[in-house]
């Protein structure tokens, strides 16, 4: 299970305020993840990646910059140096814990095609059973883009195949949203055809530099998905020293929106949990929408079962499913 963070703002942020300085930054989550499903000691040391867009918008050349490494994020001095110098209005950060694919640069997230950037936390269950079918359904532009051997990158290729033109210079929010719905639906169809019963964890995130689409999803009607949170406000700044940050709201405007596998701060009021089997859409105008992913695995909020999703799958796999921020504050969770 990996960890990721997304920042979108009306003004550029110095990458260090997301990646290195907060006391629960994405680098710290690499060795001290508090809300990961995996019962093993929470290490995400199988490489990392950072993607960002230039502060100056140019439709002709607006493509993301990427820095990846197979070293642990907490032990890469170049990441610290870059984070202190680079500013961007849209940032993806990802620390990897291998579930599929070897330890190599080609397998480090985020993945890129044209102006698109994509990352994943989770895993496609029994992926070798559906891989050939997925590949057969891809157009050449998507099939030939894959360089690594992870289920995540093939999921990105599948996403690309759902767009009218994945190499386009611009996309509407609806295009990206609908492509994500279709990607999840296709993966579920492949699993059903292959007779796979183990749930897949599909926390996907994609952007074209303007719109951000993120999902918290599991192909189960009863189990909890991997954690995903969001925070929004007008300023995100350090207070009191020691890496303690706070999201402030000076008015009703949203100048900053962040989506993260785990909150970057310990301020409970700053973060809202995204419900299982929901999609978050951040529009170019900084509107945040939560949209249910309605399929056979969806449980509506009116159904009491939505509040009592069991952890049977997690228990069978030796996993924990934290349901609140108590684990963030160091409290022990009962298994």
Per-residue model confidence as pLDDT tens digits over 29-81:
554 544 444 544 455 446 788 999 987 666 666 789 998 877 765 667 788 88
Q: In the chain, pLDDT over 70 holds for what percent of residues?
A: 78
- pLDDT tens column, 259-273: 998 888 777 788 899
Q: Which residue has the higher pLDDT, 70 or 163?
A: 163
How much is the average pLDDT of 276-291? Answer: 96
Mean pLDDT of the region 91-112: 76
DSSP 252-308: S--SEEEEESS-SSS-GGG-EEPPTTEEEEE-TT--EEEEE--STT---TTSGGGG-
Flag whether pLDDT at 143 surpasses 90: yes
The one catalytic residue in 2, 23, 65, 205 is 2
Q: What is the mean pLDDT of residues 157-167?
A: 97
Look at the block and give the residue holding tokens 């759902």: 162
What pLDDT sits at residue 301? 81
Mean pLDDT rounded to a whole number for the chain: 83
pLDDT of residue 73: 58
Lowest-pLDDT range of 143-157, 172-186, 310-324 = 310-324
Q: Looking at mean pLDDT, say which of 42-56, 274-288, 320-334 comes out highest.
A: 274-288
φ/ψ of 134, rounded to 5, equals -60, -45
**Does residue 153 have a cis bond before it (omega within 30 degrees)?**
no
Q: Report the pLDDT averaged over residues 200-204.
A: 96
Encoded tokens for 179: 């492509």
Average pLDDT of 173-200? Answer: 97
pLDDT of 164 strictly over 90: yes
Long-range residue pairs from 77-84, CB within 8 A, at least 24 positions apart, any chain: 79/19, 79/20, 79/27, 79/48, 79/50, 80/16, 80/20, 82/15, 82/50, 83/14, 83/15, 83/16, 83/18, 83/19, 83/20, 83/50, 84/14, 84/15, 84/16, 84/20
Residue 108 is among the residues annotated as catalytic for this protein: no
pTM: predicted TM-score of the whole model, two decimal places: 0.85
The set of residues, in sequence order, having a beta carbon less than 8 Å from that of 136 and lying 6+ positions away, is none
């Amino acid at each position: 299970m990996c960890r990721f963070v997304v920042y979108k703002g009306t003004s550029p942020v110095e990458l260090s305020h997301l990646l290195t300085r907060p006391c629960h930054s994405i680098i710290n989550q690499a060795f001290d993840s508090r809300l990961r499903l995996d019962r093993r000691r929470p290490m995400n040391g199988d490489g990392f990646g950072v993607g960002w867009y230039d502060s100056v918008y140019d439709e002709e050349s607006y493509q993301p910059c990427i820095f990846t490494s197979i070293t642990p994020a907490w032990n890469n001095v170049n990441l610290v140096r870059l984070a202190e110098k680079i500013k961007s209005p849209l940032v993806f950060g990802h620390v990897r814990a291998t579930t599929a694919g070897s330890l190599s640069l080609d397998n480090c997230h985020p993945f890129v095609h044209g102006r698109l950037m994509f990352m994943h936390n989770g895993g496609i269950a029994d992926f070798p059973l559906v891989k050939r079918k997925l590949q057969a359904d891809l157009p050449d532009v998507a099939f030939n883009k894959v360089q690594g051997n992870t289920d995540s990158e093939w999921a990105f290729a599948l996403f690309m195949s759902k767009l009218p033109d994945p190499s386009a210079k611009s996309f509407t929010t609806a295009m990206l949203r609908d492509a994500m719905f279709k990607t999840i639906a296709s993966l579920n169809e492949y699993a059903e055809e292959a007779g796979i019963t183990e749930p897949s964890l599909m926390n996907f995130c994609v952007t074209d530099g303007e719109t951000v689409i993120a999902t918290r999803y599991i192909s189960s009607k009863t189990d909890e998905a991997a954690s995903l949170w969001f925070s929004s406000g007008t300023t995100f700044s350090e207070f009191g020293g020691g890496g303690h940050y706070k999201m402030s709201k000076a008015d009703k405007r949203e100048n900053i929106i962040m989506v993260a596998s785990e909150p970057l701060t310990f301020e409970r009021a700053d973060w809202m949990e995204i419900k299982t089997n929901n999609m978050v859409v951040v529009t170019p105008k900084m509107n945040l929408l939560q949209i249910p992913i309605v399929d056979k695995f969806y449980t509506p909020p009116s159904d009491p079962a939505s509040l009592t999703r069991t952890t049977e799958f997690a228990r069978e796999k030796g996993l924990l499913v934290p349901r609140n921020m108590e684990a963030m504050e160091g409290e022990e969770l009962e298994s």
